[in-house]
Amino acid sequence: MLKTNNNIAQTGLRILFVLQLLIKGSVSKSQILEQIAKNPNLKNVTPDTITLDINTLKAVGFDIKSGDKSNNYCYELKLNPIKIKLTNSEIKALSIAKKAMFYFMDFRYIISIYKTFEKISKLIDSKEHVEELLNFGNFLKTDFNLLRELDVHCKHKNEIVILYNSPSRPPREMTLKCLELKYSKKNDKLYLWCSCDEYKGVVYLRADKIEKIIKITKMNSEPNVNQKSCVYSILRTKNSPLELEDYEKVIKITPDYVQIRAEYLNEFNFVQRLLSFGENLIYVEDKKILTKIKNIISDVREMYN
């Protein structure tokens, strides 16, 4: 569930969700409340709140007709051809909602919101506001249809052959077993996590570098995934709050240090994580990992000597 105490962001997300329902077709207030209750990103609200949301949409230029007994009191959206003039505070509210959505990092929801923003943008008269509304960063570099197809393969753990345009190598075919699509808030990119025999383990590939899916070689495959565990400790620092990765768990806290257990799949990614702590890293249980870290540090020192 999206964790945010920002009322503006929550209101913005809900209004966009209501607009999505209206774009799909006529919908009643009770149906809107029912759909909101099913959405893990939204808090339950009262019927009066839905009335306020509808009025907010009307205020920014959407022509919404209220229903009667003949159509079960459903709202009907009639897009107004007159351009919408959004104030700076209104575009700011939409931007806050968009940032909150990226914090949640569910690419399916992001695609859905982008499609809604595309339709809204056609009614906005300010070019600058349109650019702000449709600014989804690196996310737009990836084919949405390809993402949906990859998502299906991840759900079924299918083995596929892709054409991958690596940032450091010429385009080549790769055979892999799909695991999961993950969004990285660190560099604003979407990655396909997969089991790949070429690399003898789990790797993550940039989704925007996948040119196409060539073929499916095996349905419902059993990925060769060997999860590894390592305990490490870092010094406690007052000015740098600790942000755990989803594969990490704090197992001990002392006045001087924090001890963490990592259950990781990708060794390279985990080593980079440990290196990011710099001199605050004081203990690594796995001797093999520790040796790799020392070798990397030694190689870097030689480069600068």
pLDDT in tens, 194-210: 888 777 778 889 998 99
**106: pLDDT strictly greater than 80:** no
159 touches 175 (CB < 8 A): yes
Q: Are residues 211 and 252 in the same domain?
A: no
Q: Are residues 203 and 234 in the same domain?
A: no
- Stated pTM of the model: 0.54
CA 173 vs CA 80, 134, 146, 163, 247: distances in Å: 48, 33, 16, 5, 30
Dist. CA 40–CA 225, nearest whole Å? 29
223 lies in some domain: no
pLDDT bin (cut points 50, 70, 90) of residue 2 is: very low
Domain of 115, CATH number, reads 1.10.10
Q: Are residues 148 and 168 in the same domain?
A: yes
**Could you say which of 135, 155, 182 is where a domain stops?**
135
2 lies in some domain: no
Residue 224: what pLDDT?
A: 64
Q: Are residues 19 and 112 in the same domain?
A: yes
198 lies in some domain: yes
Residue pointed to by tokens 């056609």: 122
Residue 6: what pLDDT?
A: 65
255 lies in some domain: yes
Domain of 236, CATH number, reads 3.30.70
88 lies in some domain: yes
Dist. CA 144–CA 135, nearest whole Å? 15
Q: Are residues 24 and 75 in the same domain?
A: yes
**Could you say which of 135, 165, 196 is where a domain stops?**
135
Share above pLDDT 90 across residues of the chain, in percent, rounded to a whole number: 29
**139: pLDDT strictly greater than 80:** no
pLDDT in tens, 8-31: 778 888 998 998 898 888 999 999
**4: pLDDT strictly greater than 50:** no
Residue 185 has phi, psi (to 5 degrees) of -75, -10
Structural domain including 194 reads: 144-218
pLDDT in tens, 54-88: 999 888 878 899 888 888 889 998 865 456 677 88
pLDDT in tens, 142-176: 888 898 899 999 999 899 999 999 877 888 999 99
Residue 3: what pLDDT?
A: 45
Q: What is the mean pLDDT of the chain?
A: 84
- DSSP H or E stretch at residue 213: strand 210-218
Q: Are residues 160 and 114 in the same domain?
A: no
Entry field: residues in the chain: 305
Share above pLDDT 70 across residues of the chain, in percent, rounded to a whole number: 92
Range 25-39 average pLDDT: 92
116 lies in some domain: yes
**Could you say which of 173, 192, 218 is where a domain stops?**
218
Q: Are residues 130 and 160 in the same domain?
A: no
Residue 170: what pLDDT?
A: 86
157 touches 193 (CB < 8 A): no
Q: Are residues 96 and 204 in the same domain?
A: no
**35: pLDDT strictly greater than 60:** yes
Dist. CA 185–CA 35, nearest whole Å? 28
More confident: 161 or 185? 161
**Which pair of structure tokens corresponds to residue 293?**
């870290």
Q: Are residues 16 and 82 in the same domain?
A: yes
**Which pair of structure tokens corresponds to residue 203?**
């790797």
Residue 63: what pLDDT?
A: 86
Amino acid found at 180:
E
Residue 80: what pLDDT?
A: 57
- Positive/negative CA dihedral, 134, 138, 139, 141: positive
Q: Are residues 66 and 149 in the same domain?
A: no
Range 116-121 average pLDDT: 80
Q: Are residues 214 and 280 in the same domain?
A: no
Domain of 175, CATH number, reads 2.30.30
Residue 104: what pLDDT?
A: 61
Q: Are residues 209 and 250 in the same domain?
A: no
Dist. CA 136–CA 223, nearest whole Å? 32
201 touches 188 (CB < 8 A): no
Q: How many domains does the chain have?
A: 3
Q: Strand pairing partners for 174?
A: 162
**Which pair of structure tokens corresponds to residue 269?**
């990614």
Closest CA to 64 of 75, 72, 73: 75
